[in-house]
Amino acid sequence: MKKIGILNQLISEVIAGMGHGDTLVIGDCGLPIPPAVRRIDLALTPGVPGFLETLQAVLRELAVESALAASEMPVVSPGLYKEMQNLTDGIPLNLVDHEQFKEMTKKAVAVIRTGECTSYANIILKSGVIF
């Protein structure tokens, strides 16, 4: 049995297989997931697991070069946006409109669906390198 880090087999497998430039999405329970993209569904009940705790766990294991969120997030969910900025401190964060964000999910290696019920609680993480 794995002792540390992410215990979820699918997330661990996806992160280990990512290369430079690949993208991984962490989304709220309402984010539409394109049929051709791998779905890792963690949603248990509304709010469980949350977006921020899932993001924090992934950031501990994934080398992230940059991140992308919806431009609506700072306006509609400012508290969550600020907490997300704190977690991604030092990672360049760009904003695009939500429709463009959803379009970009089609190129992701996988989408991790959380139980989060806060509007626009979604992020695309672009894999970096460790050297």
Which residue numbers are catalytic? Answer: 20
Determine contact, residues 107/18, Cβ cutoff 8 Å: no
Position 104 in a domain: yes
Q: What is the pLDDT of residue 119?
A: 97
Q: What is the pLDDT of residue 69?
A: 98
Position 67 in a domain: yes
Position 3 in a domain: no
Based on the structure, what is the number of domains in the chain? 1
Position 2 in a domain: no
Helices (H) and strands (E) in the chain, counts: 5, 6
| 81 belongs to an annotated ligand binding site | no
| 94 belongs to an annotated ligand binding site | no
| 43 belongs to an annotated ligand binding site | no
CATH number at residue 112: 3.40.1650.10
Q: What is the pLDDT of residue 101?
A: 98
Position 1 in a domain: no
Position 77 in a domain: yes
Position 109 in a domain: yes
Instruction: Note the pLDDT tens digit of each residue in 12-37.
Output: 999 999 999 999 999 999 999 999 99
48 — phi, psi (to 5°)?
-125, 125
Question: Is pLDDT of 1 > 90?
Answer: no
Instruction: Note the pLDDT tens digit of each residue in 35-92.
Output: 999 999 999 999 999 999 999 999 999 999 999 999 999 999 999 999 999 999 999 9
| 57 belongs to an annotated ligand binding site | no
Instruction: Note the pLDDT tens digit of each residue in 78-127.
Output: 999 999 999 999 999 999 999 999 999 999 999 999 999 999 999 999 99
Structure tokens at 104: 């970009």
| 98 belongs to an annotated ligand binding site | yes
Residue 51 sits in which domain range?
Answer: 9-127
